[in-house]
Structure 1
Amino acid sequence: MTNIVNEYMDEKGESPYADWLAELRDARAKAKIMIQVDRMELGLFGDTMPIGDGLSELKIHYGPGYRVYYGKDGEQIYLLLCGGDKSSQKKDIKQAKLNWQEYKRRN
């Protein structure tokens, strides 16, 4: 069975994940991140680690150590909350948790 991977949209209709990805200048990094997210739909999550509050961190082993933060909403729906790299990990985890709380409040 295929998973559904969606982007979290804030109250303004913007996706912090898409904004972050669009700002990346490294085309190879973008491709690696997008491929790994596509693999999530097939159930192939790669190097993932729980970060608390029902959220997880997907590690992409390339460049500065890119991360994608996501939550699971239902049986097979995964929500991309935001992204970052190892240097901004603490800030990104905090933002992912805030985004998740805001999403849960609205849904």
Structure 2
Amino acid sequence: MNKVKHKILRSYITSSGKIPFLEWLNNLKDPHTRLRIRRRLDRLELGNLGDCKSVGEGVLELRFSFGPGYRIYFAELDNIIAILLCGGNKSSQKKDIKIAKLYWQDLKERSNE
């Protein structure tokens, strides 16, 4: 029997101190939407990835089946810590994936300094 591995969630912080994921989440107009996304993050913390796929270079995409197809991009450290990189929706998916990969690369480079 496989034991569920809980995750520790952290948000990526840019070198200038911005937190892109929280900025995106806080800019969502509908409080019910924000609540649904936060509940999904609660499940992620419990190790339940749900509808999730790799988009390459170590970045994963959590997909939501409501609204405009919300997405959250994150990366994992040691299969324990999930770094929330940014969020978006289906219409901005390609751009968001590129940005998430840049954020992940930046974090790895700054961690090695």
Give the whole-Å Cα distance in 1 for the aligned partners of 2:93 and 2:35. Answer: 21
Which TM-score applies when normalising by structure 1? Answer: 0.96
What is the CA-CA distance between 1:2 and the residue it aligns to? 2.5
Percent identity, please: 45
Partner residue of 1:6 out of 6, 10, 28: 10
Matched, 1:87 2:91: yes
Gaps of 5+ in 2: none
User: Number of paired residues?
Assistant: 107
SS at match of 1:88: helix
What is the CA-CA distance between 1:32 and the residue it aligns to? 0.9
SS at match of 1:65: coil
Which TM-score applies when normalising by structure 2? Answer: 0.91
> CA offsets per residue over residues 23-78 of structure 1, 9 Å max, x none?
10011111111110111110011100110001110011110000000001123011
- Richer in strand (by share): 1
Partner residue of 1:35 out of 34, 39, 61: 39
4+ residue runs over 6 A deviation:
none
Aligned-partner residue type, residue 78 of structure 2 = G
Give the whole-Å Cα distance in 1 for the aligned partners of 2:8 and 2:49. Answer: 13
SS at match of 1:11: coil
